[in-house]
Structure formats: structure tokens, C-alpha cells
Chain A
Amino acid sequence: MTTWESFDIVLAVLVLPLAFWTIAARETFVAVVSYVAYGLLLALVWVRLGAPDVALAVAAIGSGLSGVLLLGTAARLRDVEEQAAAARPSLLLRVIAAVLSVTVAAGLAVALQFLPDPAPTLAPVAARNLAATGVGNPVTAVLMAFRAMDTLLEKVVLMLALVGVWSLAPDRVWGGRQGPRHQADPQGMLVFLARLLPPVGVVVGVYLLWVSADEPGGAFQGSTILAAMWLLAMLAGLTDTPPVSSRRLRLALIAGPAVFLLVGLGGLWLGDSFLSYPAAWAKTLIVVIEIGMLLTVGLTLALLVAGPPERSARQ
């Protein structure tokens, strides 16, 4: 057994109890912390699977942002925890659920043994066409060039989720500011951190976007860091969520998909089809789209964590 294999086994043994504890823990706070730790260890598993871009995305979005979101919501739903915990389902339901889960898991594990060998793959196709896109990182090329349509639709899905969160506002604060107003001691540690970290975070976020052309990184990962910096400033009370009815906010949110659509329609007009890039302009167009994405996705992710509007716009 080589060192790498024993490392993998140790990793798997560490990840197992964390996932189990996420389901089985008594308090929601413990379960969320367990899930965050699980996500971070999972990032290591992703690196071992040869997918550093996915590892970055899982650590940032799956574990970091989701952790903030769930911890905040858990704190506000704390009062109903005992009430809900009293409604434990019957033993029969638990047994049926356990049997179902074990069957599904076993079925998936067995199905994995029957995967076709050699595995069908699009890697050679991607490698052949990589030079035409001007980027070196194949995952970026797939996201921004070969399957750009999926990325465009994904941004629209994010925006739809945000519109959904906005539409949960009560009538009296329609169009108001999202989430509660956070206050922190101006001389305290949180404000210090919120003043010191965002400039560094902005540089790191933009760097992750810029370097994704040839090395692991990506627009989503970079946007997550930008969103996290804004959230940090919000939580320290240094800045507030913008009112949902604000025109500038809505323009900034539309900017990303609009740029994407314009480039796509330009491809329809000047090239072969929707979202086709002329070869000489490919890299430039991709960078332009990614800058628009950075702005929009960063704003959207932060506002999704901020929660439904609770205060009127005039505050």
C-alpha cells in the first residue's frame, strides 16, 4: 500500500464520521459546523480526484458560503428547534427510510462497478479544440467557451433565486433592504477584521479569476471571495444591504447576463451561431464575459446569503 493510498483511506475515514454527525447531531449548530468541516475535507478528496477547480468551488461555495447562510438561519430559527424536535417521526418511518437509503446507496455503489471500461470521455475533444479558445485551463474553456450556454443559463438561475428571495418581502417593506441591520463595536475585533481583510480579499478574488485562464481558479470561485468580503463588511455593520428597489443594484445585477447575451448575439450575427467566438477575439471576449460575471455573481451570492427583505428602503 503506497503512501497515497493510505492517505486516501485516512481521508475517507475522517470524512465518514463528519457526514454522519451532520445527520445525527442533536443541535443544529453542531450539525452545520460538522457540515462545514466535511466540506473542507471534501475539498482534499477533490484534489485527489484530479479536480482542483472543483475543490476550490466546493470549499468556497459549498462549505464556506453555505456555512454562513445556514449558521445565520439556524441562529434565527433557534426558537423553533425544540418545538420541531418534538415531532420526531415514528420508528416505522425511520426503519423504512433507513432501508430505502441503504438500498439506494448500495445500488449506486454496485452500479459504479459496471462503468464502461475504457471510460468514454470528452477530454481528447476538448484538448483538440483548446487552442482555438485562447485559454489553457480546460475547465475554464468548457465553462466559458464550449458550454457557455450552460454558464449563461446558470447565471439566470442565480438571478431567479435572488428574485425569489426578494419576493418573500412582507408588503410593508416591499422593495426594502435585505436582512437585519448588523451592529458591532466600532473598536472591536470584527470591525478591525472587516477593514483589514476586504482589500486583500478583493485582490485574491480578482486574481482567482485572472489566473483561471491557465491554472486552476475560476470566475465563480473569485466571485465567492468578493461576495464573502462584502458579507464581512455587512456583518460588521460597516455597510448595509442596498434597497432591493435600487436602480443601480438592478443594473449591476443585469450587467453580467446582459454582456453574456450581447456577446452571444454578436456571435450569431458575426459568426456561425449563438455564442460562437471569432477565433482571434476568443480570449478577449471570454475575459469581458468573466468580468461581467464577477460583478453580477458576486453581488448575487452575497445578497442570497443576506436573506429576504426585512427593513424599509428609507432606513
Chain B
Amino acid sequence: MNPLTVAGLWGAAAVGLGLYGMIVSPQPLRRILAFDLLGSGVFLLLGVVARRGAAAGFGGDPVGQALIITGVVVAFAATALTSALWLRLFQETGSATLPDAEGTGADAGAVDSR
């Protein structure tokens, strides 16, 4: 039961939890949180792979670790853009969910830019 096994199992579990949260959560922010959890699980799996590449006196494969850092930053950018989109949707329509495709309600899709 070394840290690698634990981290690997944990990464897989985080991916599963995040996936479940993304599909099931009705609230927009909970979906973003689940997406972040999913991302952190994927990074953990990448980290396990990078750690197994420890050689030449380094603690891990530096290319793998650099990719993870890049991924963390890009995931944050995605979270920020998604949060801004939800915020604007709420400010324009007063609702946090997208209307059904069959056009329920008179204001479905009628978002004019005042």
C-alpha cells in the first residue's frame, strides 16, 4: 500500500465522483464543482504516471508534472468562464437552468441584450 497505489485509487474514485456529480446535480455551481473534482482526479492519475517515471535523481517525470501544472491553470480558466456564463444567464433570465428545447415558456430563447 504505497503512496502510488493510494493516490491512483483515489484519482479513479475522484473521477467517478466528479462524473456522477456532473450528471446528477441540478444546480449549475455544483456541476462546476463536480467538473473541478473530475479534473483533480485526472491530474492525480497523471501524477501517478509521472511518479512512476522517477529516474535520474528526480522525484518524478518532469514533463508529466509540467503538463499537470498547465492543466490546473487551464481548468481554472474554464471554471472562471463557466461561472461567468452562469452568472450572466441568471442576470438576464432570472433562472439558473436552461429552458427545455421544446420552448416551454414565452421567454425561452428571447434573451435580448438591453
Point out residues on A near B: beta carbons under 8 Å. 1, 4-5, 8-9, 11-12, 15-16, 19-20, 22-23, 28, 31-32, 35, 38-39, 42, 45-46, 48-54, 57-58, 61-62, 65-66, 69-70, 73-74, 76-77, 80-81, 83-89, 93-94, 97-98, 100-102, 104-106, 108-109, 112, 115, 119-124, 126-127, 138-139, 141-143, 146-147, 150-151, 154, 157-158, 161, 164-165, 168, 170-172, 218, 220, 301, 304-305, 307-308
B65–chain A nearest beta-carbon distance, Å: 5
Considering only CB atoms, which chain A residue lies closest to B9 in the complex? Answer: A109
Considering only CB atoms, which chain B residue lies closest to A171 in the complex? Answer: B113
Question: What are 6 inter-chain pairs, A to B, with CB distance below 8 A?
Answer: A22-B33, A51-B60, A73-B87, A106-B12, A112-B48, A154-B70
The 8 Å CB contact of B62, one of A89, A94, A123, is A123
Q: Is B101 an interface residue (CB 8 A)?
A: no
Instruction: Assess the A126–B96 pair: CB atoms within 8 A.
Output: no
A6–chain B nearest beta-carbon distance, Å: 9
Q: Taking A100-B23, A139-B69 as contacts, is the C-beta distance between A16 and B53 under 8 angstroms?
A: no
Q: Taking A22-B33, A105-B13, A123-B62 as contacts, is the C-beta distance between A170 and B113 under 8 angstroms?
A: yes
The number of inter-chain residue pairs (CB within 8 angstroms) is 290
Instruction: Assess the A45–B23 pair: CB atoms within 8 A.
Output: no
Q: How large is the interface on B (under 10, 10 to 19, 20 to 34, 35 or more residues)?
A: 35 or more
A154–chain B nearest beta-carbon distance, Å: 5
**Chain A contacts for B92, CB-based, 8 A:** 170
In the complex, A76 Cα to B26 Cα: how many Å? Answer: 17
> Which positions 14-30 of chain B face chain A at CB distance < 8 Å?
14-21, 23-30
**Chain A contacts for B15, CB-based, 8 A:** 104-105, 108
B23–chain A nearest beta-carbon distance, Å: 4
In the complex, A166 Cα to B87 Cα: how many Å? Answer: 13
Q: Is B59 an interface residue (CB 8 A)?
A: yes
B54–chain A nearest beta-carbon distance, Å: 6
In the complex, A76 Cα to B43 Cα: how many Å? Answer: 30
Instruction: Assess the B77–A112 pair: CB atoms within 8 A.
Output: no
Chain B facing A: main interface SS: helix
B42–chain A nearest beta-carbon distance, Å: 9
The 8 Å CB contact of A105, one of B16, B54, B62, B66, is B16
Considering only CB atoms, which chain B residue lies closest to A97 in the complex? Answer: B23
Instruction: Assess the A102–B16 pair: CB atoms within 8 A.
Output: yes
Q: What 0/1 readout, one digit per residue, does chain B (78-101) give for beta carbons within 8 Å of chain A? A: 111101111110101011110000
Considering only CB atoms, which chain B residue lies closest to A56 in the complex? Answer: B69
Q: What 0/1 readout, one digit per residue, does chain B (38-66) give for beta carbons within 8 Å of chain A? A: 00100111011111111111111111011
**Chain B contacts for A86, CB-based, 8 A:** 26
In the complex, A38 Cα to B10 Cα: how many Å? Answer: 12
In the complex, A84 Cα to B76 Cα: how many Å? Answer: 24
In the complex, A68 Cα to B8 Cα: how many Å? Answer: 28
A292–chain B nearest beta-carbon distance, Å: 16
**Chain A contacts for B96, CB-based, 8 A:** 77, 80, 83-84
The 8 Å CB contact of B1, one of A8, A50, A100, A172, is A8
Instruction: Assess the A23–B87 pair: CB atoms within 8 A.
Output: no
**Chain B contacts for A32, CB-based, 8 A:** 29, 33
In the complex, A100 Cα to B68 Cα: how many Å? Answer: 25
Instruction: Assess the A121–B20 pair: CB atoms within 8 A.
Output: no
